[in-house]
Structure formats: structure tokens, C-alpha cells
Structure 1
Amino acid sequence: MDVMPLLLLVAGSAAIAAVARRTPVPAPLLLVAVGLAVSYLPGVPDYTLEPDVVLPLLLPPLLYTSATDSSYLDLRAQTRPVALLSVGYVLFATVVVGLAAYALVPGLPLTAALVLGAVVAPPDAVAATAVARRVGLPSRITTILQGESLLNDATAITAYKVAVAAAIGEGASWAGGIREFLIAAVGGVAVGLVLMAPIHWLRTHLKEPLLQNTLSLLIPFVAYAAAEQFHASGVLAVVVVALYLGHRAWEVDFATRLQEEAVWKMVAFVLESAVFALIGLQLQFVLRGLGEYEGADAAWYAVALFLVVVATRFLWVYPATFLPRLLSARIREREDNPTWRGPVVIAWAGMRGVVSLAIAFSIPLTLHDGKEPFPHRNLVLFLTFTTVIGTLVVQGLTLPPLIRLLKFPGRDTQAETLAEANAQAQASRAAEQRLDDLLSDERNTLPPPLADRLRTVLERRRNAVWERLGQVNPVTGETVDDTYRRLSREMISAEREVFVKLRDGRYIDDEMLRTLLRRLDLEEAAAYRETA
């Protein structure tokens, strides 16, 4: 097996992504553009997307890292818009885009057109989160886009399976399609619910950070494969497990959290970079098989379908935003009145990505009889590719200036600072109370300077190096240094519990919780020397 093409892909895409960080161009767009250009160079290896690799090997870790970085509480607060986009919009887009393709392309069967509709229906998790992070969208909009992109793949893959079954002659009905969707959705969630608690228990009971992080790398693949064994949605299983583990990450050992954060940042960086580069590199492969549709006809179909995809999202987003409010007095009472600007951004941020291409490449070559070729398969691949490229380039390049033009209110840094200060004050009071309780026990006796130093740490949090003292506690046999570090850990634990309670009470958000926990993790790591 020649591994050189894989090494070149990983190294090249990582280098381009690093360059993109020093330019105003978002990394996904630069990677796609370079991939398109490189695909024309002589001697470039054939980087054909393999669905058997992308869906079970690339999709699970990308979903996992995106879901663990999301907020379960924020997603729960946005359940309605996320569900309307991840389920309702995907099914709506499948039908509308499919009917449009059927009307546009002479001779394209309706079943094959619906396959195309299902393939291009879901916005991509990687593209949405990558651009959202870069442009600094308001938190509510970012939550909705992340939630949609985490869950919509399950809807699209199920719709695709039903459409393909009809297209190749295996038979499919509305009742059968609904049944398959329910099995996939309910089964995927059920598998995730079954796995999440045992996996979390194992994570909290393994004592070696290396073993814990090895388990962390396996989790998305295990969840995905387990769900697929039961013909359920592996996507939903991964998302459910990841959201639970991310919500309970504070219970894992600090060394594991620090190491895990670094590991997953690296994995996400490499995979995201490679995925966008792969999208661009598909151009030559897709063009080779167009045949009768080369030239102006193919270009017209591509432009028309891109416009239909963009318009379809606007047709869904605006009613889905305002109709529930018009129909429900409860929603009007509980939620602020939405402006027209938020739906504009949500509609324009519907970029497609590697999942659509991977699904398209998995379209069977022949019909059920094994003799007749799948109708217009190469055209479906081409239109999927042009739609993905079009949304990434056109929408990806214009989204940042659009957000600036709409003048979204910036984050209230003063309010966030006040909330963080209040949270820290409450946590410090809890830690100080814990310290007083511990010092009243003779087993925890410390010289006054060190006891004062523990209290000083609560106020300043600047010390990174601890004194190593040789005195021994006559009751426990611990050195003063050991006692000091143990009590420090108890205090940090008290602060951590308060931060989580404040997060659960929605006084602070998950982003602030992660910031505060990382500060404690770094202090705890500095306070405890590694033992053999």
C-alpha cells in the first residue's frame, strides 16, 4: 500500500490551513480552492472519495469533536429551531430540489432527482462550525447552526436510502420511508443513551490519562458502529454520546481533560483540513464521467440547481422562524421577538460539504437487476460537486461581510466579565469554607504561612510552582508539601462544583465554564508533580 499520497494530503492540507490563519480567507475556502487548482497538476494522485472511508471513519470523529464542543443546555433551549432545520428543512429540501432537478434536466427520472435532492439537502457540520468560529456569529445563531449540522446528516442519509431504494427498483413507499426514518432516529438515540453512561463511568474510573485518551479516540467509532449494527443512525448515536460526555466532562480527571483537549484539537485540525482539500481534489474525477452533459448544458444545470438550493433554504427558514410565534401565544410569551436579520444569516449559512459528496459517491452503479446503470449517476455526482463548491465559495466568502453589513450587536463583554467575577467570587467563598473545615482537623495541620498561601491563591491564582517542604505530619505521615497540595486540590474541587452548578442554573454558559475549568485545571496540573 502506497502511503505517500495520504501523507502528502495530510501535510499539504495542514500547511494550507496554517497559512489561512494568517489571511482573511477562511481555511475551508482556501483549502477547496487549492484542491481545485492542484487537481489539474500532472502527476497528482487520484484522491477519490470513498464512502466506506468517509462515513464510518471521518464523519464520526468530526461529529464527536463538534458535539463535545457544543452546549447541551443551549441546544435544549433551541430545540424547536434545531428540529425544524435538521428534520423539517432536510425533508423539504429533498423534495423541492428533487422536483426542480426533475423539471430542469430532460430525461432525469423523478426517483433519481429525489436521490440528488437528498444528497444536497444537509448543510455540513464541518463547514458551518468552521465559518461560525471565524466570523464570530451571535451565540444563539451559532447554537442553531451547530445543532442543525450535528443532526441533519441522519435525516439526509435516511431520505437518501429511501430514494435510492425507489430509484434502483427495490420498492419503497411513504409508509416504508417513515418507518425507516423512525427506526434510524429512535434507534440511533437509543444506542447513544445506552452507551453514554457506561462510557462515562469507564472514563471516570480509568486512572491513566493515556488510557483515558485512547478510549476517547475510540468512542465516536464505537458509537457509530454499534448503531449501524442495528440499522440505526450512527450519526445520532455519536451526537448523543458526545453531548453527554461534553456536559459531564468536569467529572473527568484534570490531566485527562488537558491532554484530551490538545489531542482532539489536533485531530479536528487534521481531519477538517484534509476533508476540505479532498473536496477540491474531486474535480477531475467528477468531470471525467460527465459524458453527454459536458459544456453549456452541464453549467446551466449546475447554476440553476445552486440557485434552487439557496432559495429553498430561504423559503423554509423564514416561515419556520415566524410561524410558530404567530401560532403559539406561549412562544410569544417565553421568547423575544426575532428580527429579520437572524434568519438571513441562518439561511445564507447553509453551506454543503464532504457528507454530501460522500453520499453521492455511494450511489450504486447499477439498478436492482445489476445490468442497467443507475440513471444519470455521473450527472448527479457533478451537480452535487458544483453545489458543494458553490455554497462553500459564494456563501462562505460573502457570509463575513454580510454579518458586518447587518451590524449584529457585539457581545456584552462587561456583562460577561461581571458574571465571571461573580462566579469566581462564589467559588472562592466555597473553597475558603472548605479550607476552614479541613484545617480544623488536626490531620490537615499546616504552618500558618502555608495556610495563608492557600487563601492567597484564591485571590490571585498566579502561583505555578509549589515549595517542596520536608516536614512530616505526625498524624498522617504526609509531608507538608503533600498536605498542601491535597488541600489545594480539595479547594479546586469545591470551586469546580460551584462553576458547574452555576452553568446548570444558566447563570454562566458552557463557554465560560470551559474557561474557568481550564484555569483550575492548569493550576492543578502545576500543583501536582508527575509521579512514576
Structure 2
Amino acid sequence: MILGLAVNFFSNDWPIFELHHFNQFHLTSELVLFVFLSALVFESALSLDARALIKNLAPILMMAIVGMLISVALVGFGLSWSLGLPLIIALLFASLISATDPVAVIALFKELGVSKRLSVLVEGESLMNDATAIVLFNILMMLMLEGHFSSANGFDAAWQFLRFFLGGIAVGVASGIFVSELLVRLYHGNQGIPVVLSLVLAYFRFIIAEHELHVSGVMSVLSAAI
């Protein structure tokens, strides 16, 4: 905030601070996904206890997938009924707002010293429900563009959901094993190699998963980091 006020104050006198230079910058959804989201997911997944996460994987997946679907259904049908919105539009909006961000909650957990299992459940669920929300949003967008909903494209949507989700996990596990072997061969006491290579390959696997294989990039990064 202080930096912003300072730039605004000096922009009238010093050309270097003129704000019109920022007019060429456009924050797009692709920029958020490929530059910010993949790095954030990778860092968050690395900080998790992998053994504790795997041990509690069943309840985490239950909350991240089933819980997310229930939340989207309740919010979507509620909005459609109360506001008269088309159901597909209401569900699309519900998928946008149903993902959780537990940053403040995790900080409070650390301050209060709650059990490690509870922290793992909340953090793990928050990471995986991001992937669920993105996949669900894309599927609902596809159904909306088709203009109609039937049992046939309903089954297709369910299949696409499983393919996106499980395909992302498969890509992440395979690339994670490959990167681990690569790091073992390249690491010769240089601390910078694992950091740089891991970060670069986090972006690489996200792009490959999303653009080339059309599966969940978030799940690929998450499963590889774990």
C-alpha cells in the first residue's frame, strides 16, 4: 500500500513513475493458471507431510471431490430456484465460489497448536478441491456451450471428470518418478540444481498436462510434489 501511494505521489513529477506504462499489462486467466497457480500448488504440496497426506487420503478425497460436488449442487440449485437463473449458469457460478482457501485457518491452527492430522486434512483438501473446481468448471462450461443436457452427455461429463482428475495424478506420479531419478543423477552437492530443476519441471508438467494431454495440471503438480 505504501509503495502504491509513493508511486502515485511521484508519478506527476518523475516520468519513470508514470502509470501509463502499466496499461500494456493484462492479467489473463492463462497467466494466473500457468504462472501463479502451478507455483503456489507446488510449494504448498512440498510443505505437506506426504506420509500423513497418503494416510488420510480417503477423507481428503471425500471432502475434496464429494464435498465439492455437494456444495456446487446445493449452491447451484439454490441460486437457480431463488433467482430464476438457468441451472447450468447457477452451477457454473457455484463451481467458481466453492473452492476454499484455508490460509487464515492454517495460520490459526499453528497458533493454537491443533493436531497435525487436522492441519493435513484441511491443507490437503484445499489443494485438491482447487483441481476439482477447475475440472468441474471446464465440464460445466462445455455443457453450457453445447446448449443442452441429456443422460448421454451427463455420462460423458462424469467420464471427463474422472479422466481429468485421474489423468492428472498419473502424469504427476510418472513425472515425479522421472524427476527424482534425474535429480539423483545430476545432484553432486550443488544445492541450486534441485531447486531450479524442480521449479522448472513444475511449470513444464503443468503445461504438458493441461495443453498436450488435456488432464488436470493442478493434480499433476500436486501428485508430483508429494
TM-score, normalization: structure 1? Answer: 0.36
Alignment correspondent of 1:110: 87
Q: Aligned pair in 2 of structure 1 residues 105, 182: CA closer, same or farther (>3 Å)?
A: same
- Shift of the alpha carbon at 1:194? 1.1
Instruction: Answer whether contact 1:224 1:237 (CA < 8 A) is retained.
Output: yes
Distance 2:34 2:93 in 1: 21
SS of residue matched to 1:154: helix
Change in 2 beyond 3 A, CA 1:64/1:134: farther
Q: Decide which of 59, 64, 68 is 1:90's aligned counterpart.
A: 68
C-alpha displacement of 1:160? 0.9
Q: Do the aligned residues in 1 keep the contact of 2:88 with 2:140 (CA within 8 Å)?
A: yes
Residue in 2 aligned with 1:139?
A: 116
Match of 1:375 in 2: none
Is the contact between residue 74 and residue 143 of structure 1 (CA under 8 Å) also seen in structure 2?
Answer: yes
Question: Residues 172-191 of structure 1: matches in 2 within 5 Å?
Answer: 173-191=153-171
Task: Tell me the distance in 2 between the aligned counterparts of 1:140 and 1:239.
Answer: 19
Tell me which protein shows more helix as a share of its residues: 2
Aligned mate of 2:173, from 170, 173, 193: 193
Quote the Cα distance in structure 2 between the aligned partners of 1:212 and 1:143. 25
Q: 1:131 to 1:220 in 2, by over 3 A?
A: farther
Q: For the residues of structure 1 that align with 2:108 and 2:34, how far apart are their CA atoms? A: 24
Residues 49 and 100 (structure 1), Cα distance of their counterparts in 2 relative to 1, 3 Å cut: farther
Contact between 1:70 and 1:143, CA under 8 Å: does it hold in 2? Answer: yes
Aligned residue in 2 for 1:231: 214
Counterparts of 1:452-463 in structure 2 under 5 Å? none
Question: Which one has a bigger Cα radius of gyration?
Answer: 1
Note the C-alpha offset of 1:138: 2.2
Cross-structure match for 2:140: 163
| Alpha-carbon distance in 1 for matches of 2:159, 2:51 | 30
Q: What is the SS of the residue equivalent to 1:55?
A: helix
- SS of residue paired to 2:146: coil
Structure 1: how far apart are the matches of 2:199 and 2:207?
Answer: 14
Residue type at the aligned position of 2:207: A
Residue number in structure 1 paired with 2:9: none
In 1, the alpha carbon distance for the partners of 2:134 and 2:28 equals 16
Match of 1:204 among 184, 192, 213: 184
Deviation at 1:202, TM superposition (A): 1.6
Q: For residue 8 of structure 2, what is the aligned residue in structure 1?
A: none
Which residue of 2 is the match for residue 71 of structure 1? 49
Tell me if 1:154 matches 2:131.
yes
Of residues 188-197 and 157-166 in structure 1, the stretch that sits farther from structure 2 once superposed is 157-166
Aligned to 1:55: 33
Q: Does 1:215 align with 2:197?
A: yes
> Secondary structure in 1 aligned to 2:119?
helix
Give the letter aligned to residue 86 of structure 1.
Answer: A
**8 A Cα contact 2:179 2:198, kept in partner:** no
Distance 1:235 1:105, change over 3 A: same
Please, which moves more after superposition, 72-81 or 165-174? 165-174
Task: Provide the rounded CA distance (Å) in 2 between the counterparts of 1:168 and 1:161.
Answer: 11
Deviation for aligned residue 1:163: 1.5
How far does residue 48 in structure 1 lie from its aligned partner after superposition? 6.9
Question: What amino acid is aligned across from residue 165 of structure 2 in structure 1?
Answer: A
Alpha-carbon spacing, 1:119–1:83, altered in 2? closer, same or farther (3 Å): same
Write the distance in 2 (CA, Å) between the matches of 1:154 and 1:182: 12
2:58 is aligned to 80
Equivalent residues in 2 for 1:388-467, closer than 5 Å? none
The aligned amino acid for 2:77 is L
| Cα distance between partner residues in 1 of 2:110 and 2:29 | 27
Q: CA RMSD in A?
A: 2.6
Question: Hey, what's the Cα distance between the residues in 1 that align with 2:57 and 2:92?
Answer: 28
Q: Sort the Cα spacing of 1:53 and 1:115 in 2 relative to 1 into closer, same or farther, 3 A.
A: same
Q: Is the 8 A contact 1:62 1:126 kept in 2?
A: no
Instruction: Number of aligned residue pairs: give it.
Output: 204
Cross-structure match for 1:34: none
In the aligned structure 2, how far is the partner of 1:57 from the partner of 1:171? 34
- Provide Cα deviations, 1:63-119, integer angstroms capped at 9, x if missing partner: 11111111121112212221111001110111110111112324x211100001111
CA distance in structure 2 between the partners assigned to 1:237 and 1:78 by the alignment: 19
1:63/1:125 contact within 8 Å kept: no
Q: Which runs of 5 or more structure 2 residues have no equivalent in the other structure? A: 5-18
